[in-house]
Structure 1
């Protein structure tokens, strides 16, 4: 039920027909994001994401929004470190009409001058919203401190956004919003040929090729504190981790689910249930083609910050010494369940279609992912724990009234 077509200009289209589902979802992902922006253009990918929705010379944003609504469809977009994704969902019987409108918008947007400065002001307000949220602001600081300019704030900074010109945004789109840098995935009760026909109509005549992408060199700040007047201290400990294409990533996922993945994890049991120091403590993996991270987060009373940090480091030390077979079994069961349940959800299914194409050049059946997971041994997991949890690659970031010693 999964089919793939590559147009002569390099555009890749993957579909999964699902006759048993009434909804449909499509993702159009360009291989460009904030992590690949040059310093002088910080925030340009996110600005461009916003400007696409401003319309084309023949279809303004109001007309587009009204037509999409009449079809019962909705659209959204997001900018990451290495990708920009446009999403549309709706009933299977109208998704092709919605995709036709959306593809026309993406292929033909024109960045109207009268809207450009206005939208930059909107993004400045978006930045203030993040800045007023200590946990969101702390997360941005943590990634930036751990990875350097590759992980600068996705929306840029007030200064960088203010300095962007309309010409720079248009040049950036010409350089990277190209068919050979685009992967489209659609899941729904829709014929593959019909999807290809719609996309070829809007993108097939475009022969532009993407410029070479440059990954900024990674750097690291070991410790950073941002003083804020707030009730809780936001605590982040970050580590470099395997990139997303590492073949032993399932072993890392298995280990880190034990350490910080759920309410039965070691971090939660120790800091929340045994000591009552926090309401929330968790660890999470994020991965890209060039690097990965493991980020531990906790929110605590400022007076308990040193103790919380000490307890997390103690748990890391203890974790490096042993993982039990029962913990390994539980972790695999949780990850297997997550894979199985995600296979029933349209959004997850289309994301996997696109992810697998970008990373591996082919779709990987869920059974293959589960087999890789089941093959993880205790020794595999411990090896990844020792590789990642190393003092030389740890970054500590705190946001709040706490004063570091």
Structure 2
């Protein structure tokens, strides 16, 4: 029997062969079950305490963004990321304290999509330690209240539960409200999430680790997916991460001149004027972290200024989970964090493919036009040159004949 074989099947006597990949896969499953498969039902109340609150309890100087993101290996890239996040959230505290709702129907930025957040908690326990304001669309102030993990009068042990947070077009206030509610055990995962979101220019990344930065150990599954999408001038992203620094790049497509016809052909009806088009950079950042299959938090930060059909509409209670576009499971049924992350990854990759297909479509129209016009001009020049040579040869021959 070779080293990749298993023991004979007791039922049929057959010899079942398994590849090394299968053996390694089973080993990985066993390791996961060993570390994170425990059936945690109750958690000490202290495990839910905000990391920033813990720092304040020890009377440590707390500059919220810097304190949350550091200490960490001080590389130039990481320091730029922290600086971007700090600049992005510069006025977030004031906005949270002096929140004023904007009437978008009369706003000059009626097309601009303000930050929207969806929070949903699920617990297998009958004890409800969850804020009543979850599972609906929240503004930044409501988000801050919803992220309070439990009421002040709950017992010392609270129910373990999963939390899912989706942020559409986050601003400084929503990011600040988010980090103020992050428990210490989840800080490492949130750092990686924010690092991916605030790195400029954004880079793709995939993180699959178990972290012991703060005991007990937690798993972290995170990915960062930058992409390009075609938007319009009315749906641009004006967010800044510095005095003169855009968070996301954008490029006018006026030079494509899509409204002009190529070689006498009519312009396609579904082609927008390039004067109104913008090639827009976007980022989808996702992270799930936790200590077991029934105690984890997933967070998604999504740029969708240019989406005609955004993940969160104006409905107060979304019918589906906006991260995976599937109705939430019942209280007794849970997504595993690994399955949830794969669903989110697959769905977003499909969306990115569609965005890039649209970019290719518009570029092809422009390139076809330039190629056609170039070839037309080339043949005109070539024809003109041939005519000049013919006239020259004819004149030469005529003079030679006369000279004879």
TM-score, normalised by the number of residues in structure 1: 0.24
- Higher relative contact order (Cα pairs below 8 Å, separated by 6+ residues): 1
Q: Which has more radius of gyration?
A: 2
